[in-house]
A and B are shown apart, each in its own frame.
Chain A
Amino acid sequence: MLVFVIRRLLISIPVLIASTILTFLIVKATGDPLTYLKTRQANISPEAKQRFIDQEAHRLWLDRSWPAQYWHWISNVVMHNNWGQQVQGNDNVRTDVFTALGVTARLVAFAIVIALVLAIVTGVVSAVKQYSITDYTTTFAGFLFLSMPVFWFAILLKEFFAIKFNSWTGTQTFYTLNQPTSWVNPGQLLGRVLLPTIVLGLASYAAWSRFTRASMLEVLNSDYIRLARSKGLAPRTVLVKHALRTALIPLTTVTALDTAALLSGAIITENVFQWRGMGYLFLTSLQNRDFNVMLGWLLVTATFVIVFNLLADILYGFLDPRIRHA
C-alpha cells in the first residue's frame, strides 16, 4: 500500500509542474495586462504615457522573455511563497486566492453533504425498486436537474423563494450580498448558505444518484448477494452490510474527483448569488487581465484536482484491495 501511494505521488509531481507551464501559457493567451493603461485617455504627453507603461511593464516583469517571466513567478511562489501582486492595486495575490477559497469551501462543503445524502438515499431506493414509479420519478428528476442550467435555476430560486419569503416575513433571512458570512451565527449562516448550496448540490446530486443506482444494481445482481440471500440473511442486513458497502466504493472516487471540480466550478452559482469566492475572483481577474491572480488561481485549482485525483486513487486502493494488488 505504501509503495502504491508513493508511486502515485511521484507520478503527480511532473503533472503538477507541467500544469503550471500550461496555465502560464493559457494566462499569456488572455492578452496584454497593460491594455487598460494603453487605452486610457490621459492628459499627459505620449512620451510620459509611454514611460509610465514601460515602468509598469518593468515592475511586473512584462518586459522580460516568457521563460524568464515563468521562472520569476514559479521561483517566487516556491522559494518565498510570494505569489506576486495585482496589476491594478497592491493586494497580495496569495491572500486574495485563499480568502476566496475559504468562501467557496463553505459553499461546496454544504453542497457536497446535501448532494451525497440525497444521492445515496434515492440511488439505493431506485436500485432496490427498479422500474417502480419511484425509480422512474427519481430518474426523471435526475435528468431534469442535469439538464437545467444552473444560473436559470438559481435565479428562479432567488426570485420566487428568497425574495418572496423575505417580503412575506419582512426580514432579511435570505441575504446573499457579498459580505463574508460568519460561522458563529447559525441563523445568518443558514440564510446565506441555503440557496446557493441547494443550487450547487442539486447538480451534483443528479449525477451521483445515477451513479449510485448503477453501481448498486450491479452489486445487487452479483452472485455473492444471491448467496447472502439464499443462506437466509435478513434482507436489511444483505442490503446495508453486503450490498451498500461495496456499491459505495466507486462513489467515493467520483465524489473525490467532483469535489475538486466543484471548488473551481462554482463560478456560475457564485455569480448569481454574488458570493466573492473563487468564481468571482477568476472572472474579475480575467476581465482585468490580472495575470498573477489568474496564475495563482489556476495553480490552486490544478493542485486541488491533482490532490483529489490522488486521494481518489488511494481511497479506491484502500477500500478495494483488488485494485492495490493488481
Chain B
Amino acid sequence: MLETHETISGEETGEPGAGKPRVEREFTVKERSYWQMAGRRFLRHRGAVVSLFVFILLVVFAFVGEKVWHYKWNGNFIDYRDISKAPSLKHPFGTDERYDWMAEVMRGTQQSLKVAFIIALLGTGAGAVWGVVSGYFGGFIDSALMRLADLVLTVPPLALAAALAYSGGGKLWQIGVVLGAVSAPYVARVVRGVVLSLREREFIEAARALGASNLRIMWRHLLPNTTPVLIVNATLLIATGILAETALSYVGFGIQSPDTSLGILISHAQGAVTTRPWLFYFPGLFIILIALSVSFIGDGLRDALDPRQTRERR
C-alpha cells in the first residue's frame, strides 16, 4: 500500500545484519499484499487446490499429450486386429473402428478447452468494458447499454449460437466468438453493479480531483478493482462454455465432422453404450472433469478473492 512499509519490515526482505535499521516491534506480523492473502486463502480450500492440479493435468494431457502420443487423431488407421477393442496397454482408452480413442479424446479435449478459453476471454473482456463504461458514465449511456444487454438476453443463447455457428461453417473460433458474445451481457451486468458502488468511493473522487481523464479512471482505477469478479466469472464461463460447446457439437451445430470435439465423440458413441462402452464413457468423463475442476477452482477463487464471504461458522 504505502512504499515506506517495505523499508521498515527489512527483517524479512534483507539479509540479516546487512546494515539496515532493525525496528523493534512488540509483535511481528508479516505484511502481505492482497494477492498474497488471496493466494493463501485459495491454498486453504482443499477442493480448489486439487481441482487446479487436475485441471493442469488435463491441459497437459490435451496439448502436450497430442504431440507425444504416437497415435494421431486423424492419422493412420489402427492395426486391423485392434479394431473396436476394449482399453488395453496399447490403447488405454480402447479403439473404435478406425482410430485410437485416446488420441481422439485428446483432440476433443483440446478443441473444447480452446473454445472455452476463447469464450472466457471474450466474454469477460467485452463484459468488463461494457459494464465499466455503463456503470461509470451512468445516465443515458448506462440505460442504453443495459437495454442492449436486455435485448441480447432475450435470445436463447444456445439457439443463437447454433444459428450463427451453423451458418458460419462451424469453425472453432466462430463458436467461441458467438458463445463469448452471448455471455458478455451477463458479465456486463455484474461488473456494472460493482462499478456503481466503486465510483462513489473516495479514491475515484481523488483521482478525478487530480485531473485524471475518464479513460484513465476507468482503465487504471475501476477495471483493476473488478478483477476479482472477472476472474470468478471467467471460471464460470469456462465451465458453462465447455458444456455449451459440447452440446452444440453433439446435436451437430457446433464443430463440424472432419474435426472432432468431445460432443462429436459422444454423438458417435451413443449407439455403442452397451456394446463398446469405453467409447461413450471417456469423452463424457473428460467433460465432467473439466467442468467440475473449473467450477471448484472458481469456488476457491470466490472464497479467496472476496473476503466478505467468509467461511466462518455461525
Contacts and interface: CB of A to CB of B under 8 A. Distances in A.
Interface residues of B, number: 41
Given A29-B163, A149-B287, 14 more contacts: A15-B154, A26-B160, A30-B167, A143-B292, A143-B296, A150-B243, A151-B247, A152-B284, A156-B273, A267-B159, A271-B250, A283-B253, A301-B156, A306-B154
B233 interface: no
B158 interface: yes
Interface of A: 14-16, 18-19, 22-23, 26-27, 29-31, 130-131, 143-144, 146-152, 155-156, 159-160, 220-221, 261, 264-265, 267-268, 271, 282-283, 286, 294, 297-298, 301-302, 305-306, 309
B251 A27 contact: no
A27 B280 CA distance: 34
Contacts, number: 128
Contacts of B247: 149-151, 267-268
Given A22-B151, A147-B291, A268 B266 contact: no
B214 interface: no
Q: Would you list the 10 A-B pairs with minimal beta carbon distance, nearest first?
A: A147-B291, A264-B156, A147-B292, A152-B284, A302-B154, A159-B273, A19-B154, A30-B167, A305-B154, A31-B167
A18 to B, nearest CB: 5
B163 A30 contact: yes
20 contacts: A15-B150, A22-B152, A23-B155, A26-B160, A26-B164, A30-B163, A30-B167, A143-B292, A143-B296, A144-B292, A147-B290, A148-B288, A149-B243, A151-B246, A151-B250, A155-B280, A298-B159, A301-B156, A302-B154, A302-B155
Question: Which of B147, B150, B274, B313 neighbours the largest number of chain A CB atoms within 10 Å of its CB?
Answer: B150
- Per DSSP, chain A at the interface is helix
Nearest to A150: B247
Nearest to A12: B150
A74 B191 CA distance: 35
A245 B197 CA distance: 28
A248 to B, nearest CB: 20
A143 B159 contact: no
Interface string B267-282: 1001001100000100
B295 interface: yes
A116 B288 CA distance: 24
Question: Which of A14, A152, A221, A265 neighbours the largest number of chain B CB atoms within 10 Å of its CB?
Answer: A152
B242 to A, nearest CB: 8
B62 interface: no
Contacts of A286: 162-163, 166, 253
Given A19-B154, A155-B270, A155-B273, A149 B246 contact: yes
